[in-house]
């Protein structure tokens, strides 16, 4: 029987849109911690503590009942009152919170003792209005001025922060209570008097003023019926997403949780339509718009709902750079990495306004545009983003290739920019075989694969747009890149591709997971793929819980490091798709099995952003990375990539076709997908394993859709399509 694991500082996290709250298990916010109430990259509440006559409460149990709600059950220590002693365990305090824009909080105290009880219920609050970057780094600089005022008439405590033209405020307003509070010495105090069996209640609201954008609670007491529009929107998301049933309970629960997590990470402020939206990258550190993350999630969720792709394409097109700005590492045509809205960004202390320090988001944009067209089947999508795509292609040629050698490199120009601009963007993520950090400029192997894939996808797109000359030029460039890449990146003595080319254009012969992305891109020579794939399952790369980011034989390896030996579910999902593309179905299923089994060990079957690359043994369990985002969008989306790899799902919506190539392993003998959308049609299809063969059948269909069994494969440049 599997166990649930939560590792690191135990916290409760609830979120909605750009607002989230992180507390300790007792529902309190510890001083000098990373906990708090946050919105738009500012911490509005930095300390929260409850006491009874000065004594802290004792935690019984707590949990998040849904992504937007938490409930905490507390009881009292023995304490003295003026009239009598309150014996331990006679008072019960229940703290319930629900978040939607602002936060609604309920405090309920019940006297389970045999005697009346009267005491002061105290609530201590502090606000530091720290920027999220400061909270994460634990490096705080006091800049502006904080003023707190108590409005006794309206039972409202307001704390305001001002730094020049940057303004934020936090209001804690008591909206209903059994006894009115007073305020002194940074504490609200309620005089609670309870007969035996009686209950005392208070309702409060957290109102956040984000520089004129007021975030007031859109929910009431949690025990009332759902009434917020956000609940309706979440139900609509769940109702529109492809539904899965299967006999493997672990896979079913992982899929269901992943769909719920993506809906929970929706950035409502950036909705374009009822079916066009954006995901936040993850809670707590990445509750904002990201380029790479939004695009990867869009690819992952095509089989579930293409709404994220539609939102990502539109928002990132709006943010596409139009001029060179070295402070932000921007050049014309480049797709952004990240945008922030806090104090540091407001005063340009950080370049995230937005920051363009990513070398892969621009080709990934083209890949998503093509894939969205394939699933939606709408040629108007290509027409709408044609100019955006041309600017992306121009950036790849003019700025992605720094020295004109045909390879994509990156060189940071901002004095506060990122050392690494691939998905492994930690400062120490790209290392040589001796463990030393590779210097810039760096030509990562997967960047070449992304560009190769993007060129050939856009060649198909321009064929559809009746621009054959442009399509022909892209295919010619892809052919040159493939030949040039094999010549410079293949390391025959390793049976593997180099991680990168260093500043001297020498191959960095480091064994890392990046090469798996080359298989997904279809760039790799099939004969060499047969040597590359088994290398991932040697003991230095395969942990048993998934493929490590870096070989354990590298001196820089650390299973607990961010990207030097840890396991990332999204990385494994992309690699599994690559295995499937080259015909290694059993290997793809092996990755899927171990990632899903890791998920079953985490609470609620929710995959964290990453976990440690420690070796799996019969008595072990996966160890969550300290500070990992949970929930995290592309960790959730990895479940969909893994399933897509097993079933071999691809689409051509313009032709009304769904391609399948199922190869179900013994541990997943059946899968049924309902409501799978391709073009304007939907289909229910069942897959099952019959002895050593995988079969499928259509259960129901709405619209003109045809299912064809056809294997995927690497790109053939001499063909107009795959």
Domain extent listing, the chain: 12-227, 231-654
- Res 5: pLDDT: 61
- Res 268: pLDDT: 77
Class of the CATH-defined domain 12-227 = mainly beta
Helix (H), strand (E) at residue 72: strand 69-75
On the question of pLDDT at 656 being above 50, the answer is yes
- Res 71: pLDDT: 97
- Res 546: pLDDT: 98
Cα radius of gyration (the chain) = 27
Across 176-202, average pLDDT:
94
Tell me if 161 sits within 8 A of 129, measured CB to CB: yes
For the chain, the distance separating the N- and C-terminal CA atoms, rounded to the nearest angstrom, is: 44
- Res 100: pLDDT: 92
Tell me if 49 sits within 8 A of 124, measured CB to CB: yes
- Dist. CA 624–CA 291, nearest whole Å: 25
- Res 141: pLDDT: 87
- Taking only the tens place, the pLDDT of each residue in 397-437 is 999 999 999 999 999 999 999 999 999 999 999 999 999 99
Q: Which two tokens stand for residue 321?
A: 């750079």
- Res 142: pLDDT: 83
Cβ contacts of 538 within 8 Å, gap of 6 or more: none
Across 12-30, average pLDDT:
95
Pairing mode, if any, of strands 243-246 and 58-66? unpaired
Average pLDDT, the chain: 94
- Res 1: pLDDT: 45
Helix (H), strand (E) at residue 479: helix 468-489
- What's the CATH code, domain 231-654? 1.50.10.10
The region, left, alpha or beta by phi > 0 then psi within -120 to 50, assigned to residue 656 is left
- Res 370: pLDDT: 98
- Res 722: pLDDT: 38
Q: How confident is the model at residue 276 (pLDDT cuts 50, 70, 90)?
A: confident
**Edge-to-edge strands, sheet with 500-501:** 443-444, 500-501, 507-508
On the question of pLDDT at 126 being above 60, the answer is yes
- Dist. CA 522–CA 161, nearest whole Å: 53
Residue located via tokens 């394409």 = 313
Across 45-68, average pLDDT:
95
- Res 143: pLDDT: 87
Whether a cis peptide bond, with omega within 30° of 0, leads into 631 is: yes
Across 239-247, average pLDDT:
95
DSSP 125-150: EE----BHHHHHHT-----SEEEEEE
Q: How confident is the model at residue 6 (pLDDT cuts 50, 70, 90)?
A: low
Q: Is 413 exposed, middle or buried (0-12, 13-18, 19+ CB in 10 A)?
A: middle
- Res 70: pLDDT: 96
- Determine what percent of the chain is predicted with pLDDT higher than 90: 87
- Res 389: pLDDT: 98
Across 692-701, average pLDDT:
96
- Dist. CA 169–CA 163, nearest whole Å: 12
Across 117-139, average pLDDT:
95
Task: Identify the CA nearest to 19 among candidates 219, 274, 177.
Answer: 219
Q: Is 274 exposed, middle or buried (0-12, 13-18, 19+ CB in 10 A)?
A: exposed
- Give the max Cα distance, the chain: 91
On the question of pLDDT at 720 being above 50, the answer is no
- Res 225: pLDDT: 55
């Amino acid at each position: 029987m599997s166990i649930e694991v939560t590792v690191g500082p135990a916290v409760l996290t609830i979120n909605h849109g750009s607002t989230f709250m992180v507390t300790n298990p007792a529902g309190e916010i510890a001083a000098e911690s990373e906990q708090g109430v946050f919105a738009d990259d500012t911490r509005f509440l930095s300390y929260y503590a409850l006491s009874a006559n000065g004594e802290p409460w004792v935690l019984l149990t707590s949990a998040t009942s849904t992504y937007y709600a938490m409930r905490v059950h507390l009881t009292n220590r023995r304490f003295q009152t003026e009239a009598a002693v309150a014996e331990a365990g006679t008072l019960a305090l229940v703290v319930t919170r629900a978040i939607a824009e602002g936060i609604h909080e309920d405090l309920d105290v019940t006297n389970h003792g045999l005697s009346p009880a009267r005491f002061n219920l105290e609530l201590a609050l502090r606000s530091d209005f720290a920027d999220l970057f400061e909270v994460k780094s634990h490096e705080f600089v006091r800049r502006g001025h904080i003023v707190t005022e108590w409005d006794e008439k309206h039972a409202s405590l307001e704390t305001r922060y001002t730094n020049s033209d940057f303004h934020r405020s936090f209001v804690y307003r008591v909206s209903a209570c059994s006894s009115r509070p007073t305020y002194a010495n940074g504490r609200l105090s309620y005089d609670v008097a309870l007969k035996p069996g009686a209950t005392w209640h208070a309702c409060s609201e957290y109102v956040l003023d984000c520089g004129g954008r007021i975030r007031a609670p859109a929910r009431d007491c949690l025990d009332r019926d759902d009434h917020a529009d956000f609940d309706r929107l979440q139900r609509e998301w769940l109702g529109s997403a492809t539904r899965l049933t299967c006999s493997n309970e672990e896979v079913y629960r992982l899929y269901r949780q992943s769909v719920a997590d993506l809906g929970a990470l929706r950035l409502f402020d950036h909705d374009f339509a009822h079916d066009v939206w954006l995901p936040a990258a993850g809670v707590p550190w990445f509750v904002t718009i990201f380029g790479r993350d939004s695009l990867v999630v869009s690819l992952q969720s095509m089989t579930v709902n293409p709404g994220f792709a539609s939102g990502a394409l539109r928002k990132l097109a709006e943010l596409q750079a139009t001029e060179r700005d070295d402070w932000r590492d921007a050049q014309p045509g480049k797709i952004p990495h990240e945008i922030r809205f806090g104090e540091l960004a407001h005063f340009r202390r950080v370049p995230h306004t937005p920051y363009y320090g990513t070398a892969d988001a621009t080709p990934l944009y083209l890949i998503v545009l093509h894939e969205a067209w394939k699933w939606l089947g709408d040629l108007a999508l290509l027409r709408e983003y044609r100019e955006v795509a041309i600017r992306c292609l121009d950036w790849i040629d003019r700025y992605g290739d720094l020295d004109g050698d045909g390879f994509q490199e990156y060189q940071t120009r901002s004095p506060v920019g990122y050392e690494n601009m691939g998905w492994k963007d930690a400062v120490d993520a790209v290392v040589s075989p001796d463990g030393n950090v590779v210097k810039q400029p760096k030509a990562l192997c997967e960047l070449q694969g992304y560009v190769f894939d993007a060129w050939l996808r856009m060649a198909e797109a321009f064929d559809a747009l009746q621009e054959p000359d442009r399509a022909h030029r892209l295919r010619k460039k892809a052919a040159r890149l493939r030949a040039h890449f094999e010549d410079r990146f293949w390391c025959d003595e390793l049976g593997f591709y180099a991680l990168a080319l260093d500043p001297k254009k020498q191959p960095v012969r480091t064994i890392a997971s990046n090469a798996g992305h080359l298989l997904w891109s279809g760039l790799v020579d099939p004969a060499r793929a047969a040597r590359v794939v088994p290398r991932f399952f040697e003991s230095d790369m395969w942990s048993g819980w998934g493929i490590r980011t870096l070989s354990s034989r590298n001196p820089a390896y650390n299973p607990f490091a961010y990207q030097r030996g840890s396991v990332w579910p999204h990385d494994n999902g992309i690699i599994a798709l690559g295995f499937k593309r080259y015909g290694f179905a059993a290997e793809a299923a092996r990755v899927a099995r171990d990632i899903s089994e890791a998920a079953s060990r985490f609470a609620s079957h929710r995959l964290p952003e990453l976990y440690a690359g420690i070796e799996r043994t019969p008595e072990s369990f996966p160890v969550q990375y300290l500070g990992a985002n949970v929930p995290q969008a592309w960790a959730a989306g990895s479940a969909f990539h893994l399933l897509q790899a097993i079933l071999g799902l691809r689409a051509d919506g313009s032709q009304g076709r769904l391609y399948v190539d199922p190869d179900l392993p013994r541990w997943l003998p059946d899968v049924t997908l309902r409501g799978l959308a391709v073009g304007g049609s939907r289909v229910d299809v069942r897959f099952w394993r019959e002895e050593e063969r995988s079969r499928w059948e259509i259960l129901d269909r709405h619209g003109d859709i045809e299912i064809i069994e056809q294997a995927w494969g690497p790109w053939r440049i001499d063909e107009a399509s795959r």
